[in-house]
Structure 1
Amino acid sequence: MQPEPTTEHPARLVVIDDEPQIRRLLRMALEGHGYQTVEAASGQEGVLAVAQSRPEAVVLDLLLPDTSGVEVIRRVREWSEVPILVLSALGQEKEKVSALDAGADDYLTKPFGLEELLARIRVMLRRALRPAESPNFSSGLLEIDLSARRVWVNKKELHLTATEYALLRLFARHAGKVLTHRQILQEVWGPKSVEQTHYLRVYIGRLREKLERDPARPLLLLTEPGVGYRLALLDPE
């Protein structure tokens, strides 16, 4: 497990939510685990807070009084790649997908558990700190040499088809981040295939057969129901 931020170098998080009790809960939880927090009660305040405080991550509610959380993401993404964790109310599946397509990194559905929130933040920060130029990727028993296009699981080399490798490479480049069906289909199969979700079901099944110890209970390649998939960042075994 990735250690929490130290008191010498605490990570700064911007929390954007119009509910004072939620902001208070998040502030207490985050500061109790060594993070600094900056609060904003509206979208406009949130964009300004991100610009001024230069945080390591953002926690953003989708329902804001002055603008949508999706619009906040779009505005921030015009100039920043800061990790963004979205908080969404129950029944907002379309909004979750819109937020992820706009550039959010992950989401949690309200009500949420604080331990899961902290775990998701750790993963986002871990992903953000990975050297972008490194051709080597690992998660649990999975190892990839992107420069040589070679893949191993538990030190055994795998043989993947071109499409399987393209999928896995995409997940590795965005490990820890939820990718929507549309994002994956457009990247791997092209813009004319963004509605062909059956392609994904078939190839995700094939990848799990090769990557997972138990494909029926995947630990590495995870499904986000109704939204997409995510490659988990696991500690080495």
Structure 2
Amino acid sequence: MNQVLYIEDEKEIGEWVSKDLTDRGYQVIWLTSGEDIDTYISKSDIVILDVMLPGLDGFSIGRRIKKEHSDLPILMLSARTSVEDKIEGLDFADDYLTKPFHPEELVARIEVLLRRFHKQDEKIELQHLIIHTKDGRVVNHESDVEILLTGKQYHLFQFFIKHLNQILTKEQIYEGVWGERYIDGDKTLMVHIRYLREKIEKNPANPTIIETIRGIGYRVKL
């Protein structure tokens, strides 16, 4: 069952779309703003995102999602029909549907995106770890226990997995995970790597998964 993360603040439309998609066999998480998306994003197969939202608008939320989850399809919904709005939406989103729309068209577009972005569950074996690429789960195969990572730990480790065997500078990692420019002397990255090592390394004091490349940055090597 595919999980749809649906962000829409208009109650009537939100209830209608959620019920229609649920009746068609989708699992729908409906939010009225982008505040709690981090709770559900890693388990979602597609994001349906309205443009006009309280707080951060849909364009800002969509760009952030795409930056952190480039392989997650985003379908924008909007009553704004100007060419400029569509161009802005399609700068990061994978499709743009204007309101009002027919439910059959919405479902057709969802299915197209799911087929395009369908991910097979591949397993990467990394020493005592098995990483499931489809949902990002990390399992210690010696104890058969899943290692639970916090949001930033998860994104940090996934960034390393996407760049296996590459030596990454602190600047590349920080900009890739935090989306901001790295400031020399900032300890944030070092602290998060230390906490991540405590969860995934057999001996965090002598790490063999996340290698420190002196004077440059870090590397995760198969």
- Matched-pair identity in %: 39
Q: Secondary structure at the match of 1:122?
A: helix
Between structure 1 and structure 2, the one with the greater Rg is: 2
Matched with 1:88 is: 78
Give the TM-score normalised by structure 1: 0.47
Find out whether 1:99 has 2:89 as its counterpart.
yes
Q: List per-residue Cα deviations over 1:63-120 (Å, max 9, x = no partner).
A: 111111111111111211211110011434322211111x210011100000000000
Give me the whole-angstrom Cα distance separating, in 2, the residues matched to 1:74 and 1:90.
18
For the 8 Å contact 1:42–1:64, the answer to whether it is kept is yes
Matched with 1:55 is: 44
Matched with 1:7 is: none
Distance 1:43 1:92, change over 3 A: farther
Matched with 2:129 is: none
Q: List per-residue Cα deviations over 1:196-220 (Å, max 9, x = no partner).
A: xxxxxxxxxxxxxxxxxxxxxxxxx
Matched with 1:41 is: 32
Instruction: Write out aligned runs for 1:1-237 (5 A).
Output: 10-45=1-36, 47-51=37-41, 54-80=43-69, 81-101=71-91, 103-129=92-118
Distance 1:19 1:40, change over 3 A: same
Give me the whole-angstrom Cα distance separating, in 1, the residues matched to 2:108 and 2:82.
22
Give me the whole-angstrom Cα distance separating, in 2, the residues matched to 1:64 and 1:21.
14
Give the TM-score normalised by structure 2: 0.50
For the 8 Å contact 1:38–1:49, the answer to whether it is kept is no
Distance 1:49 1:61, change over 3 A: farther
- TM-superposed CA distance for 1:50, in Å, is 4.0
- TM-superposed CA distance for 1:43, in Å, is 2.3
Give me the whole-angstrom Cα distance separating, in 2, the residues matched to 1:113 and 1:40.
21
Distance 1:107 1:91, change over 3 A: closer
For the 8 Å contact 1:40–1:49, the answer to whether it is kept is no
Aligned AA (2:90)? L
Give me the whole-angstrom Cα distance separating, in 2, the residues matched to 1:89 and 1:24.
17
Q: Secondary structure at the match of 2:35?
A: helix
Give me the whole-angstrom Cα distance separating, in 2, the residues matched to 1:19 and 1:59.
14
Q: List per-residue Cα deviations over 1:168-193 (Å, max 9, x = no partner).
A: xxxxxxxxxxxxxxxxxxxxxxxxxx
- TM-superposed CA distance for 1:130, in Å, is 6.9
For the 8 Å contact 1:56–1:82, the answer to whether it is kept is yes
> How many residue pairs get matched?
119
Aligned AA (2:114)? L
- TM-superposed CA distance for 1:122, in Å, is 0.5
RMSD: 1.6
Give me the whole-angstrom Cα distance separating, in 2, the residues matched to 1:79 and 1:50.
13
Give me the whole-angstrom Cα distance separating, in 2, the residues matched to 1:15 and 1:83.
12
For the 8 Å contact 1:88–1:96, the answer to whether it is kept is no
